[in-house]
Amino acid sequence: MKIENALNWLDERLGIDAAFALAKKKEVPLHRHSIWYYFGGMTLFLFIVQVTTGILLLLYYRPSAETAFESVQFIVTEVEFGWLIRSVHSWSANLMILALFIHMFSVFFMSGFRPPREITWVTGVLLLFICIFFGFSGYLLPWNKLAYFATKVGTEIAGVVPVVGRFMLRFLRGGDEVTGATLTRFFGFHVAILPAATTLILGIHLLLVQMHGMSVPPSMEDKPQRKMKFFPNFMLRDLIGWILAIGVLAALAAIFPWELGEKADPFAPAPEGIKPEWYFLFMFQTLKYIPAKILAFDGEVLGVLAFGLGGFVWLLIPFINRPTSSPRIKLAVFLFGIFVVAFIVVMTIVGFLA
């Protein structure tokens, strides 16, 4: 009786009955590609893990060149279950980017960006860029040797962009070199600016998903539509995935704890065979293969510009491949997607083996 009263009280103020009614009405299409729908929810779940573990790490982390490494060392050696929180944060970041890639390419190949979902696609791609920047900025925060040199190389690559490169390099580093100022700045990006941007864009993205519902692939549109209730049927299936994800994260953290390495030393030589995180590897490897000069132009500049252009084209996919577009354009966009996946996979493997 008391619970019913409390629910009535809440409903009068928040309209939770309407929300429940909306959730009950929501349905998920069922077809042979339905499995891919789970990756959006998985990405969101891993993002929540990131936020939670990130907040816990903030209780002990101290963002300065003098204290950052020592504070992470303290977290993983002295703080109760600090090792678990730190390892889960690092592993979850990587699994989140993996889930995000899978989610994005599944949406692409199921043409989920078709009207009226263009803005859902654009916000999704923006979230990918933000997550990658989350990874890049978070990588430096332990202030270890590998992170220091990876940031140095990464910001140098940003610095080769014509016209704005020099500004970008100085803006990212907070000066000409990677120093304590860079660490403080990256910390600011990682815990304030990027979360704020994510909240805004993710909010729009989720709202649009609720508004438009799940997209059905064009090949399935003409067939009889089978559907499953989102709540509780699909939601509980999502929950199984999330519970198992917690198990995977716990296993990874316990069996392969995320390494801390050695404290960064700006005067030490760069370690041999330095490589960025796996999601940057395809770009890093490609830039290594590009010749120093292509005609009269600097090869590295052309490479960076090509990646920038590629990202921009990817963002605009819904406006290039419209329902009214010719079959030739649709085929070209599809082949472009295949090429992008193949390119990322091959260059990442080559990068690992090199």
Partner 1 sequence: MKQQLKNFRDLTPKRRRVLLTALSVVLVLGGVALFASTVRTSAQKKNSCIECHTKLDGPLGEPARLFANDIHKERGLACNDCHGGNPLADDKVAAKSASSGYLGKPKPIDIPSFCGKCHSDASVMKRFNPTLRVDQVQEYYTSVHGNRLKNGDQKVATCASCHGIHGIRPPSDPASTVNALNVAETCGKCHGSADYMQGYQIAHDQYEKYKTSVHAKAIYEKHDLSAPTCNDCHGNHGAVPPGLTSVANVCGQCHGRQSTLFQNSPHKSPFEKANAGECIRCHSNHGIVPPTDEMAGTGPQSVCITCHTNDKGFAAAQQIEEKLGGLTASIHGANQILERAERAGMEVSRPKFELRDALDGLTQARVLVHTASLEELEKAIGPSMEIAGKSYKAGESAFSELNFRRGGLAVSLVFILFLAVLVYLKIKQIEQRDGAVSET
C-alpha–C-alpha distance, residues 58 and 235, integer Å: 31
CB of 73 to partner 1, least distance (A): 7
Name which of 176 and 259 has its Cβ closer to partner 1: 259
Name which of 72 and 304 has its Cβ closer to partner 1: 72
Q: How many CB atoms are closer than 10 A to CB 183?
A: 27
Name which of 254 and 294 has its Cβ closer to partner 1: 254
Name which of 82 and 154 has its Cβ closer to partner 1: 82
Considering only residues 309-328, where is the footprint of partner 1 by CB under 8 A? none
Q: How do 297-298 and 27-30 pair as beta strands?
A: unpaired
Residue 243 binds to partner 1 (criterion: CB under 8 A): yes
Interface pattern 207-236 for partner 1 (x via CB under 8 A):
-----------------xxxxxx--xx--x
Residue 256 binds to partner 1 (criterion: CB under 8 A): yes
Residue 55 binds to partner 1 (criterion: CB under 8 A): no
Which amino acid, 323?
P
Residue 66 binds to partner 1 (criterion: CB under 8 A): no
C-alpha–C-alpha distance, residues 258 and 224, integer Å: 48
What is the distance between the terminal CA atoms of the chain, rounded to a whole angstrom? 67
Burial class (CB in 10 A: 0-12, 13-18, 19+), 339: exposed
CB of 277 to partner 1, least distance (A): 18
C-alpha–C-alpha distance, residues 18 and 23, integer Å: 9
Residue 145 binds to partner 1 (criterion: CB under 8 A): no
Contact stretch for partner 1 (CB under 8 A) within 94-102, 145-153, 182-190, 243-251: 243-251
Of these, 174, 257, 311, 337, which contacts partner 1 (CB under 8 A)? 257
Inter-residue contact 150 to 173 (CB < 8 Å): no
C-alpha–C-alpha distance, residues 270 and 303, integer Å: 23
**Count of residues engaged in binding partner 1, rule: CB under 8 A:** 32
Name which of 255 and 295 has its Cβ closer to partner 1: 255
Of these, 52, 73, 184, 286, which contacts partner 1 (CB under 8 A)? 73
CB of 327 to partner 1, least distance (A): 29
Inter-residue contact 69 to 144 (CB < 8 Å): yes
Of these, 30, 181, 197, 315, which contacts partner 1 (CB under 8 A)? 30
Instruction: Read off the tokens for 239.
Output: 């929950």
Of these, 6, 18, 192, 254, which contacts partner 1 (CB under 8 A)? 254
Which ranges constitute the DSSP H helices of the chain?
2-14, 16-25, 38-58, 68-77, 82-109, 118-140, 145-159, 165-173, 180-188, 194-212, 218-221, 235-255, 278-289, 299-315, 317-320, 327-353
Residue 21 binds to partner 1 (criterion: CB under 8 A): no
List contacts with partner 1 (CB under 8 A).
27, 30, 73, 76-77, 83-84, 224-229, 232-233, 236-237, 239-240, 243-244, 246-247, 250-251, 254-257, 259-260, 262
